[in-house]
Amino acid sequence: MTEKTAPTRSMSKSCYLSGPMRGKPLFNFPAFDAAAKNLRAQGWAVFNPAEADRSRGFDPATDKAHDTAFYMGVDLPEVCKCDCVITLPGWEKSEGCDIEFTVARKLKKPIFSYETGWELSAHTSQPRYIETWVKKRLTTKFDVARGIIPVVFEEPASLTKPAPSTQGVITDCALRIPQRDDRNPKDLLGALKPCLNLIPPVFLILVAKVMELGAKKYSPYNWRAKKVLGSIYLAAAMRHILSYQDGEDNDPESGTNHLAHAAACMGIMLDAAANDCLVDDRPIKGKAAEVIRQLTVKQSQGNV
C-alpha cells in the first residue's frame, strides 16, 4: 500500500498575482497582500509583486515608482515560472498587467479573475473555472501510480462561480498576440502597442472625407489653435445621428454618411481634450448613466 505524499511546493498550485498599482493608494499593496494571504490559505504558492517590492526596500507610502521596464525585468521571469496568473480588479487599465498577460498567453498560461474565478478569455473555446482547471491539471501532472497523490482543494469562497457571459468574447490582450510560433522579436514589442489595424478601413476613409471638408472650410486642426466648446461638437454629432436614425443616410452638403460626420465630431473632441484645447462645458453631472443601468437591470430581470 502506497502512502500519500505530503504536499510540497512542487505539488502546489502556483500563481502570479497580477493587478494595477500605479494611481492606487499605497500602490494597491493592501489589496495584493489580502489576496495573497487568502490564496495561500487555500493552498496556493503565490508570487506577490508587492512583497517583492518591499523586499527591495520600496515603501509605498513614501517612495516613487520606477518605470515599467524596471518592474517587468523583475516580474516577468516569475510569470514564466508560475502555473497561472490570477489578477485583481482594475487590470483593464494597467500597462503592467497588459504586458504580463501577453507573456502569460504566449506561454499558454491561463489568466483567472480573482473576483469571479473565471478565465479571462481562453485558448480553448470555452472559459474555464479556476478550480476545475486546477483539479484537472493536478490529476494529470503527477504520477499517481508511483504514489504521488495530487492535492485537491475546495472551491475558495472568495472566488464565486457566476454563470459566465464571455463565450465568443476575445479580450484586448488576446487580440495583441500573433498566432505564430516563428514570431520575430519585433512582434513581441509591437503586440504591446495600440492595435491600430483593428480600426475598420471604411471608417477611416469616410471620416477622412469629412475631415477634408472641414479643413477646407475652417483650416486643418483649427481646434488646436483656439480652444473649442465641447457642446458645439456634441450637438453637431447628435444632429447627424438623429438625421441618420430618422432615415437620411448621407449629409446633403458632403454626400458622406451622417455617421462619418458624427465620428469626425467625436474625433475632434478627443483630440482637443488630449491637447488641452477642449472646453468642458457640460452641465452639472446628472443621473442619466445611473438611470440607464437601473433600467437595464430591470429589463433583464423582466426577461427572465
Q: Rounded to an integer, what distance in angstroms lies between the CA atom of residue 223 and that of residue 274?
A: 11
Report how far Cα 156 is from the mean position of its chain's Cα atoms: 24
Instruction: Provide the pLDDT confidence category of residue 137 given band limits of 50, 70 and 90.
Output: low
Digit-coded pLDDT (tens) for 184-208: 666 656 666 777 888 999 999 999 9
The enclosing H or E element of 111 equals strand 111-113
The set of cell numbers assigned to 280 is 468642458
The set of cell numbers assigned to 127 is 472559459
Rounded mean pLDDT of the chain? Answer: 78
Q: Rounded to an integer, what distance in angstroms lies between the CA atom of residue 102 and that of residue 107?
A: 9
> Mean per-residue pLDDT for 283-292?
89
**Cβ atoms within 10 Å, residue 213:** 17
The pLDDT, as a whole number, for residue 189 is 62
The pLDDT, as a whole number, for residue 252 is 94
Long-range contact pairs involving 237-245 (C-beta distance under 8 Å, separation at least 24) = 237/261, 237/262, 237/265, 237/266, 238/262, 240/265
Digit-coded pLDDT (tens) for 248-265: 999 999 999 999 999 999
What residues contact 260, with CB distance under 8 A and at least 6 apart? 203, 206, 207, 209, 210
Q: Rounded to an integer, what distance in angstroms lies between the CA atom of residue 88 and that of residue 115?
A: 7
Residue given cell 443616410 in the structure block: 249
Contact present, 258 and 241 (Cβ < 8 Å): yes
Q: Are strands 278-279 and 13-18 parallel, antiparallel or unpaired?
A: unpaired
pLDDT at 110 over 70: yes
The pLDDT, as a whole number, for residue 3 is 35
- With H, G, I as helix, E, B as strand and everything else as coil, classify residue 287: coil
Eight-state DSSP code of residue 279: E
